[in-house]
Structure 1
Amino acid sequence: MLSPEEFTVGDVGTARPLSLLLPISKYDEAMLIGELEGVAVAVLLSGDQKSCLIECEGNDSWKGLIVPDVRVEVDESSLVDVNVYNPPSLAVVRTGTRLAIRATREKWIQSRQLVTLHEGLVPAGELQATFARWQVVVGVGDTRRVLWSRREDEDS
């Protein structure tokens, strides 16, 4: 459950990076807001266009509950060896000084992009870690709640 001060209602154009948009109708989808090349973008977490990204600015086509300042937690046991396996869409990647999510510009073209979720982390050097399972949470300690989860066995 969410407390009234933990969310607002609006369209994706009003959401800022590191917000989760939860659908309010059957025509909307869950989205995680990040940043790509300095522009706020939303990555669709559900629906037919899952893993596609859309620009947020001026976009009033997608509406929902906007939960700002969410945190992303990774399941450390779901590391993907990218030297052996092709990482799935919606995988979360820790690279350089950021945490990012793998998304596509257009569903059928499959042009992969890394959308930044967190920036300014301790440098990882030349190494990176890719996680198939992760979740979006709000709150800490006794008030921590999982709002959305990515399971390894989901289609991407």
Structure 2
Amino acid sequence: MLSASEFTVGSIGHATPLSLVLPRHEHEETILIAQCQSGPAAFFLSEGQRFKWFESSSNNHWHGLIIPNVRIEVDETSVFDPSRTEARPGTVIRHGTQLVVKAKSLKAFGGLDPIILEDGLASTTEENAGFFRWRVTLADKYERRVLFQVFAQ
């Protein structure tokens, strides 16, 4: 359950990175607001457009329940080496100071784009680690709640 102070309702154009947007009806989608080179990016988690993304800073088309300040947790048992195993759409990779998710653009054909989930993390070596399973959580000083789980396998 969410307390009233933990969410707002509106368009994704007003959501900041690391907000989870939950649908209110069957024509809305579950979306994680992340970051791309030019600003906020919408990353689809629900089945309709699963693991696709687009720039979302001025978008007033997609709406929902906006939960800001969510956290990303990776399942360490799903770790893989991205230099030996190909990353699939929806996998997250810890690289340098970032945690990115691999996503397909809604606009273009081709490969996967790295969409930034977190930046400014402690720097890693030249090595990377990927994860097929991860989740979106919301925590306060009393409890941690799992809001959405991702399985990219």
Are the equivalent residues in 2 in contact too, given 1:99–1:116 (CA < 8 A)? yes
Aligned partners of 1:99, 1:90: CA distance in 2, in Å? 12
SS of match in other structure, 2:13: helix
Are the equivalent residues in 2 in contact too, given 1:78–1:152 (CA < 8 A)? no
Which residue matches 2:23? 23
Cα deviation for residue 87 of structure 1 reads 1.7
After superposition, the CA RMSD in angstroms is: 1.6
Establish whether residue 88 from structure 1 lines up as the match of residue 88 from structure 2.
yes
Structure 1 residue ranges, 4+ long, deviating more than 6 angstroms after superposition: none
Change (3 A) 1:140 1:150: same
Which residue matches 2:56? 56
Cα deviation for residue 84 of structure 1 reads 3.8
Are the equivalent residues in 1 in contact too, given 2:21–2:32 (CA < 8 A)? yes
Are the equivalent residues in 1 in contact too, given 2:51–2:89 (CA < 8 A)? yes
Which residue matches 2:5? 5
Which residue matches 1:126? 126
Cα deviation for residue 144 of structure 1 reads 0.8
Are the equivalent residues in 1 in contact too, given 2:23–2:64 (CA < 8 A)? yes
Post-superposition CA distance 1:80-120 (Å, at most 9, x none): 23344322211111001011111111387243111111111
Are the equivalent residues in 1 in contact too, given 2:135–2:148 (CA < 8 A)? yes
Q: What TM-score, normalized by structure 2, do the two folds share?
A: 0.92
What letter is aligned with 1:49?
Q
Aligned partners of 2:54, 2:10: CA distance in 1, in Å? 16
Structure 1 stretch displaced more, 69-78 or 139-148: 139-148
Q: Select the structure that is richer in strand.
A: 2
Aligned partners of 2:107, 2:57: CA distance in 1, in Å? 20
Which residue matches 1:34? 34
Structure 1 stretch displaced more, 131-140 or 102-111: 102-111
What letter is aligned with 1:32?
L
Cα deviation for residue 141 of structure 1 reads 5.6
Change (3 A) 1:110 1:80: farther
Q: What TM-score, normalized by structure 1, do the two folds share?
A: 0.91
Percent of aligned positions that are identical: 38
Cα deviation for residue 151 of structure 1 reads 2.2
Aligned partners of 1:110, 1:46: CA distance in 2, in Å? 21
Equivalent pairs, count: 153
Which residue matches 2:65? 65
SS of match in other structure, 2:59: coil
Aligned partners of 1:115, 1:39: CA distance in 2, in Å? 10
Which residue matches 1:151? 151
